[in-house]
Structures are given as structure tokens and as C-alpha cells.
Structure 1
Amino acid sequence: MNPYIDIVLRSIAVYFFMIAALRIFGKKEISQLNTADVILILLISNSVQNAMVGNNSSLTGGLVAALILFILNYLLKKIMFTSKFFRQLIQSKPEILIHNGKIEFSSLSRLGITSDEMQEAMREHGIEYYKDVKLAMLEIDGNISIISGNENIKQTHHKRKVHKNLGTINS
């Protein structure tokens, strides 16, 4: 078999494995990266590199693998945009965490969100008490959106990002 066809097939297999793994292990993990998560991502990328390129450590082999990953990502986004079935297969739905001040303990437990993480998200949105939360949702991108019932509280959107020193910052 042509070595570059081999790289293409290996890259496709690794890409879909990673999509499935992220789907199985949950969306919360994507947006709330801590130091251990960043290390895990770096180690995974290093471990699957050989699975994609095999013994081919040439520049061309690496570029072919990277090109295939970009193409697959582009195609997957296009398919998800046009197909509800594939969108539901790849992405999970938003989940209600708090509704009218009432905590959805079963959702928090199933999603692995601790009370400390929920309180942190509330503080990031300027809310101190659960009773002040009109709606809290775990969005499809893994972020927690919160709407308060109080018009005096400024609604903000905070997304957690990984900073260069491997810590998290809020923006």
C-alpha cells in the first residue's frame, strides 16, 4: 500500500476515535481544562502521532496527517450543520442545572458537576445564591450559562480558557 494512503487511513481512524472519546467522556471536560487535562491532551497527541504516521517521520508524512485532520474537521462541521442526525450523534444537548432556583441534582450528578463548580460559575456571573438563578444550563460547548431573575445583576458570559502557564483564566 502507498505509505501516504496508509497515513490518510490511520489519521481518519484516530480522528474518529478522538471524536468518540470526547463524546463519551463528556462536554464538561472540554471547557474546564485544568493542568492535568492539558497534560493529558499533550500526552494523547504524542501517543496518537505514531498511530497516524507509523514509521514515516518525514515532513511530508506529518503534513499529510495534519491536512487530513483539517479536512475531516471541516467536513464534519459541514455535515453537522446540514444534518440533525449527525449533529445529535456528535454533540450532546444543553442540560438544565438550575431552574427557578431549584437545583437539578440528578443532572449535576450525571454530568459530574460538583457544588463547588456550580457555585464558582454562579460567582463568575455575579450571583451569590441558588434562589437568584432563573436558569443555569450546561451548554453544548461545555460552558455554564446562567440567567438570574434579578434585573440588577449584570448578565455576563464567561468562557474558561487555558493560559500559557497552564492555569485557567476567565475572560
Structure 2
Amino acid sequence: MIPYLDIVVRSICVYFFMVIALRIFGKKELSQLNASDIVLILLISNAVQNAMVGSDVSLEGGIVAAFSLFLINYIFKKIINKSPFLSRLVQSKPEILIHDGKIDFNVLSKLDITSDELDEVIREHGVDNYKHVKLAMLELNGSISIISGKENLRQTRHKRIHKTLGEITT
């Protein structure tokens, strides 16, 4: 039983390392995975496998590690939902990008969203000018939601694509 306890402890440590790393390096990029994101996730999973199970490559060892990850994720989500402090610490908050036709360039700069990207999202939602946007928000999941117009109040959603070094922008 002690070797399996070692796997549980290692798995929990790796889980919390990944939560912290994703918070530091940005969760917003995970809202829409591109090729480099998938490669990164695959390489990280391969890199931390040995850290979790050590020399135990048995079926039981793998199941114990997987079960530990599912369990700690379940417990951690329950704790986050009950603790406003931990929720603020781990999760980002929605950010207002446009309010009543006025763009908040400080927020755009902080979030590394260019005005061209914002214009593109606005056009994709069928709005021809940012002045017609009542509210644009970067949501917790990384999507940008747009509420436009005063008479025809409508809400649309757009997943923000995070541009990486491997992508060519025009």
C-alpha cells in the first residue's frame, strides 16, 4: 500500500504544480486550443508521468495516479466553489473591454488583445462599429461576449484565438 500512497502524493503535487503553472502562464489560451497548445499538453503529460508514478509502470500504478488526479480535481473544485479567496486566486475574472461604445485600452493592453483583434471579433458578431457595442467582455473561459444595440439587444459569443509564435499574422 505504501508504494501506492507515494503515487497519490506525487500525483497531487503534479496536479497543484499544473494548476499554479496554468494560472501564472495564462488560462485564457486554453479556451481554444491550437496545434502548439496540444503539443505542449502532450509533452507536459509525458514529462510528468514519471514524476507521478516513479518506476511503477503497472496498470494498478497508472489507475491509482489517474484516480488521484480525478479525486483531487473534484475536491479542489468543491473547495474553490466554497472559498471566494481561493476562487479569486485560481480563476481569472471577467474583464470589460467595451462599455457603452467606449473601448478600455488599458484593459486591452493588460490582456494583450490588440484593437485589430477586438475589431475582428466585433465584425464577426455582425456589428459594424465598436460605438454600437453596449458591452464587450472577456469571459472566464476566454471567450469574448458582445452585447450590442439598444433596440435590438442581442448577445453573441466568440472564442478568442491566442496567436502564438508559430502562427503568421497579417
TM-score normalised by the chain length of structure 1: 0.84
Instruction: Single out whichever of 9-18 and 115-124 deviates more from structure 2.
Output: 115-124
Higher mean alpha-carbon deviation, 144-153 vs 22-31, is at 144-153
Quick one: distance in 2 between partners of 1:34 and 1:151? 37
State the identity %: 67
- Spell out the pairing of 1:3-22 with structure 2 (5 A cutoff): 3-22=3-22
Aligned counterparts of 1:31 and 1:142: Cα–Cα separation in 2:
5
Backbone CA RMSD of aligned residues: 2.1
Q: State whether residues 100 and 133 of structure 1, in contact with CA within 8 Å, keep that contact through their aligned partners in structure 2.
A: yes
Equivalenced residue count is: 161
5+ residue gaps in structure 2? 162-170
* One-letter identity of the residue aligned with 1:113: I
**Residues 39 and 51 (structure 1 numbering): CA distance in 2 closer, same or farther, change over 3 Å?**
same
Distance in structure 1 (CA, Å) of the matches to 2:9 and 2:57: 16
Amino acid in structure 2 at the alignment position of 1:112: D
Matched with 1:117 is 117
Residue of structure 2 in register with 1:166 after alignment: none
Q: Quick one: higher RCO (CA 8 Å, sep 6+), 1 or 2?
A: 1
- The TM-score normalised by the length of structure 2 is 0.85
Q: Deviations over 1:10-50 (max 9, x none)?
A: 11111001111111112321213211111111111111111
TM-aligned CA deviation for residue 149 of structure 1: 2.2
Partner of 2:156: 156
Q: Assess if the C-alpha contact under 8 Å between 2:97 and 2:107 holds in 1.
A: yes
Question: What are the Cα deviations for residues 136-164 of structure 1, in whole angstroms up to 9, with x where unaligned?
Answer: 11111211111112544743334579xxx
